[in-house]
Amino acid sequence: MSFVVPKETYSGKVYEVSIGTEKVVNFGGEGMLPFLAVDGAVKNRPLIAYEVQDIPPDDWPETVKKAYEGVSGNPVDWAKYCQDKLGAKAIALRLIGTHPDRLNSTPDEAAKTVKDVLAAISVPLIILGSNNADKDALVLAAVAQAASGRNCIIGKAQEANYKTIVAAAMANNHKLVAMSDLDINLSKQLNILITQMGFDKEMLITDPMCSALGYGLDYTYSVMERIRLAALTQNDTTMQQPLLGDVGMYVWKVKETQALEADLPLWGSLEDRAVAWEAVTASAFMIAGAELLIMRHPKAVEALEKLIDELM
Amino acid sequence: MALSGVEIFKMLPKTNCKKCGHPTCLAFAMKLAQRQISIDACPDVSEDAKKILGEAAAPPIRPVTFGAGDKAVKMGEETVLFRHDKKFLNPTVFALEIKDTASEDEINKKVEAVATSEIDRVGQKLRIDAILVENASNDSGKFESAVKSIAAKAPEVPLILSTPDPAAAEAAVKAVADKKPLLYGANESNAEAMANIAKTYKVPLGVYAKGLEAISAFTAKIKGLGVEDMVIDSGARKAKEILEDNTLIRRAATKKTFKPLGYPVINFIQRDDSMVEALMTVLGVAKYASIIVISNADRWKNLATFALRQNIYTDPQVPMQVEQKIYKLGEPTPESPLLITTNFSLTYFIVLGEAENSKVPCRLAVMDTEGLSVLTSWAAGKFTASKIAQFIKDSGIENEISHRELIIPGYVALLSGSIEEKLPGWKVTVGPREANALPVFLKSRA
């Protein structure tokens, strides 16, 4: 019995998405499982965006907060630091200050923040709401207009608020993140609703809902794998969008990124553990199929980039 | 190639005698096709059919065990490429490399790190499973004494003895043969000698050849020499090669039933940069490694990679559950709030995380709902007013707290009245629907 390479050929492929205007970045586009060059060409590197906020990161754990000491006081300095000093290839600006439980800042204030950040950076911008469905509809409509012509990604459109957000993205020519609750069918359903409004299926990015290592990673991992397989084997146009892993906000909430070594000596160094928690979570999703990752700690990004180098 | 139920049926006696416990031969054939029963249950099947069916029923990846006693590790037996198709069975073995050139002190530290690596996580004990002793000195005496000393210090830890030198291998294997170590390994230039040692001492053999074609031919050769239990190394060391080789090996074994590659895989992923080593471990665990050899057992790295392995190897069909009890968050006083939720691990973790983030000390009552989430368990009749009332009464919490207020998830708000009826003297407060609203909710009450 001699060995025959068991290659797979697929009928479908992931759409390639291009964002930004000054510095344009592409992601997605592959016609095989992640990095499996034996089945097809690796078209683009997965894109890692650094997360910044419209307000100072007071609620971020110490380990990641101190990585942005001195620059996180305002979003413009913070975004510039990520771009110029950390070499960020994209920035994800989360407008968390607009949440009614936070500063409840207005859509106009959010729009001004977006304009200021856009004026300061040349890499592509991802603009995210505060994950309050009602408020996001108002905020994202305003910021989509403020960012008109800059080919951003805005999000996240969810079942409860997608109509306004889709219309705003369409009117201002942005890409759009569609998020549903950790279920392949819900994800498909939302993509259908959005494309039925006339939104271009190739401008959409699917967020099947992220999770952290040890806290539901297995669910996100398998939903991502199943979506990617559906895209490849069934040529399903509502499953062929690139996948987003919004890693940082889930990881930097869990105990493992915060508990002191003095309290839990078996868990080892807090700094390394916290960075590893983010890097491990992100790398698992990347292996499952995520092409766009939003992350917080520079060292976690650095480690993931090294893994990508080895995988390319 | 796995046989279909109908193909199997054609080989059965077709008498519908029911001696196997199934109403018809076809029903029995279907069970066989799903590998849920052994052909031995049929007393009348021909020897020829038995042989064909036996081979077809063998797992596409051979089960291989090394180590002895409770901590022996089993590998292989996997049948699928994706965990959503079927649970990944035997979790990746993490093996810490110790070089025989290391000082006594360094060896002691590493052995100690393995011995104390065990962590309890969601009811499972997770640890560094094995030690690989590397014959870096190329000196057989040194290798043997390192192996002996490590085996004495960590008598229960399964060992991998790594040397290409048959003389060194024989001396070391002989010294610890009762611990059934994995001998790594055989290559083109020492195949006969290594196969002999493996046969003589009845230990599994790690085999190396560069590339999938070479390793396929080589496992056939070793099998011809009489060794069945093998662990294979295709020489992949970089991430790209590991991903490709491991995937192709798993595909060939499970989809093509290509026997020469139907063995557990060992990956060497040691890196100077510990963070990168952690990510290489992710790649190996996610993509089919049965053994991953690591260079250090830093506790932070252990915790992250153990959690990842646990996540990848859980059964996607069976929800992970946590123990039913009342958990204390922070240092609650008798006045601190009492919340209730279900024991689906994800629900528990999310509620726990958010409640902890609030920094408000409280008690979280986690009720056994067979691992279902709040809404699902309510719909399934497992999270009902009477069951909740019973749980609260039986828990003895009334002796620990001074108040009688229970905060229930917002999704089951409609239960509040009936819980109050069944728990006289208690007040039920409806909490938020989503856990992420808990910090605001708890802080506003504090």
**Measured between CB atoms, does B27 come within 8 Å of chain A?**
no
Residue pair A157/A186 in contact (Cβ under 8 Å)? The answer is: no
Residue pair A221/A288 in contact (Cβ under 8 Å)? The answer is: yes
Cβ-based contacts of A284 with chain B (< 8 Å): 282, 286, 308, 311-312
Q: What DSSP designation does A201 have?
A: G
Confidence (pLDDT) at B2 = 64
Residues whose CB is less than 8 angstroms from the CB of residue B373 and which lie 6 or more positions away in sequence, other chains included:
B342, B344, B346, B347
Cβ-based contacts of B314 with chain A (< 8 Å): 218
pLDDT grade, residue A180 (50/70/90)?
A: very high
Check CB contact under 8 Å for B274 and A272: yes
Side-chain half-sphere exposure of B168, counting CA atoms within 13 A: 26
Residue A168's alpha-carbon distances to A24, A133, A150, A158, A203, in angstroms, are 22, 15, 14, 14, 13
**Measured between CB atoms, does A196 come within 8 Å of chain B?**
no
CA B217 to chain CA centroid, nearest Å: 30
pLDDT digits (tens, 9 = 90+) for A117-173: 999 999 999 999 999 999 999 999 999 999 999 999 999 999 999 999 999 999 999
How does DSSP assign A229-250, residue by residue?
HHHHHS--TTS-SPEEE-HHHH
Of B212, B243, B349, the CB nearest to A3: B212
Instruction: Tokens for B42, please give them.
Output: 């049929």
Per-residue three-class SS string for chain B: CCCCHHHHHHHCCCCCCCCCCCCCHHHHHHHHHCCCCCHHHCCCCCHHHHHHHHHHHCCCCCCEEECCHHHCEEECCCCCCCCCCCCCCCCCEEEEEEECCCCHHHHHHHHHHHHCCCEEECCEEECCCEEEEECCCCCHHHHHHHHHHHHHHCCCCCEEEECCCHHHHHHHHHHCHHHCCEEEEECCCCHHHHHHHHHHHCCCEEEECCCHHHHHHHHHHHHHCCCCCEEEECCCCCHHHHHHHHHHHHHHHHHCCCHHHCCCEEEECCCCCHHHHHHHHHHHHHCCCCEEEECCCCHHHHHHHHHHHHHHCCCCCCCCECCCEEEEECCCCCCCCEEEEECEHHHHHHHHHHHHHCCCCEEEEEECCCCCCHHHHHHCCCCCHHHHHHHHHHHCHHHCCCCCEEEECHHHHHHHHHHHHHCCCCEEEECCCCHHHHHHHHHHHC
Mean pLDDT of chain A: 96
pLDDT tops 90 at residue A102? yes
Check CB contact under 8 Å for B299 and A267: yes
Q: Strand pairing of B130-134 and B93-99?
A: parallel
Cβ-based contacts of B318 with chain A (< 8 Å): none
Which residues in chain A belong to E strands, given as ranges? 16-19, 25-28, 47-53, 91-94, 125-128, 153-157, 175-179, 204-207, 243-245, 290-295
Check CB contact under 8 Å for B298 and A217: no
Instruction: Tokens for A189, please give them.
Output: 């359903």
pLDDT digits (tens, 9 = 90+) for B66-119: 999 999 999 999 999 999 999 999 999 999 999 999 999 999 999 999 999 999
Q: A303 or B26: whose pLDDT is higher? A: A303
If you count them, how many residues does chain B have?
446
| CA-based nearest residue in chain A for residue B437 | A101
Which residues in chain B come in under a pLDDT of 50?
1
Shortest Cα distance, chain B CAs vs residue A212, angstroms: 10
**Measured between CB atoms, does A85 come within 8 Å of chain B?**
no
Taking one residue from A and the other from B, the number of pairs with CB-CB distance under 8 angstroms is 168
For residue B99, the cross-strand partners are B134
Confidence (pLDDT) at B354 = 87
pLDDT digits (tens, 9 = 90+) for B241-277: 999 999 999 999 999 989 999 999 999 999 999 999 9
What is the distance between the alpha carbons of residues B98 and B128, in angstroms, rounded to a whole number? 13
| CA-based nearest residue in chain B for residue A102 | B440
What is the distance between the alpha carbons of residues A261 and B332, in angstroms, rounded to a whole number? 22
**Measured between CB atoms, does A303 come within 8 Å of chain B?**
yes
Instruction: Tokens for B192, please give them.
Output: 């006969």
Residue pair B377/B369 in contact (Cβ under 8 Å)? The answer is: yes
Dihedral, CA of residue B20, residue B26, residue B27 and residue B31, to nearest 10:
80
Shortest Cα distance, chain A CAs vs residue B228, angstroms: 17
pTM: predicted TM-score of the whole model, two decimal places: 0.90
Check CB contact under 8 Å for A272 and B300: yes
Check CB contact under 8 Å for B287 and A267: no
Cβ-based contacts of A221 with chain B (< 8 Å): 83, 286, 311-312
**Measured between CB atoms, does A119 come within 8 Å of chain B?**
no
Dihedral, CA of residue B336, residue B337, residue B342 and residue B344, to nearest 10:
-60
